[in-house]
Amino acid sequence: MSDQLEQSFVKQLKENQNIIHKICRLYTNGEDAHNDLFQEITIQLWRAFPKFRGESKFSTWAYRVALNTAITLYRRNTRTIATVTYEGQKHFLSQEDYNHEEEEQIKLMYQAVQQLNDIEKALVFLYLEDKDYTEISETLGISEVNARVKMNRIKGKLKKILNP
């Protein structure tokens, strides 16, 4: 029975691992830290898995646990140093789809996002994942209106970082 649970968990995690990788990339600044956070998120997901009833998609359920782990439970300081560019970024683009200029812009954009604080990153992550404000507000535990206001402020902040 528990083997079955483990099997089902491992399979779903493997299929959805990119979500966790994306969070790790936002919150860490090196391969070691990335793997470390990935592992901690995996452990926390596994612990919470018995409470996953399949009412939502595995991925939707995993957002919350993964973000909570990155923001709250993870012990190492995950604040990225703005000047350090993460190696993984190089593989960020599927080359054929972008021209050079756009690629450069996205890279800068990515660096700007890394300068945000943990909470702002969470908002950006959920926004990039196409979550609506209802889900963003529920995930973070803030009101929908305030989530919206904050998101607009973050956009402004990013603009400022990009065009000082």
Partner 1 sequence: MDELDLLKKAWKKDTHSFEQVTETEIYKMLHKKSSSIVKWILIISVLEFAVWAGVNLLFNTDDAIQKLHAENFSIYLKILTYINYAVVIWFIYSFYRNYAKISTITSTKQLMQDILKTRKTVQYYVWYNLSMIFVSTILGFIMAFVYNPKMDALKYKISHENGYETITITVCIILAITVLFVGLFWLIYRLLYGILLRKLHANYKELKKIDL
Among 51, 77, 79, 76, CA closest to 65: 51
**What is the closest distance, in whole angstroms, from the C-beta atom of residue 85 to partner 1 in the complex?**
15
State the Cα angle at 142 between 78 and 118, rounded to 5°.
10
Q: Which is nearer to partner 1, 83 or 101 (CB)?
A: 101
In the bound complex, what is the minimum distance in angstroms from residue 156's beta carbon to partner 1?
11
- The distance of closest approach from Cβ of residue 84 to partner 1 in the complex, given in angstroms and rounded to an integer, is 18
- The least distance separating partner 1 from the CB of residue 41, rounded to whole angstroms, comes to 9
Question: What residues contact residue 55 under an 8 Å CB cut-off, 6+ apart?
Answer: none
By the 10 Å C-beta count (0-12 exposed, 13-18 middle, 19+ buried), 30 is classed as middle
Q: Which amino acid is at 9?
A: F
- Cβ nearer to partner 1, comparing 84 with 108: 108
Place of tokens 């995930």: 139
Residue closer to partner 1 by CB (options 70, 83) is 70
10 Å Cβ neighbour count for 48?
A: 15
- Report the interhelical angle of 58-68 vs 17-27 (nearest 10°): 20
Is the Cβ of residue 84 or residue 143 nearer to partner 1 in the bound state?
143
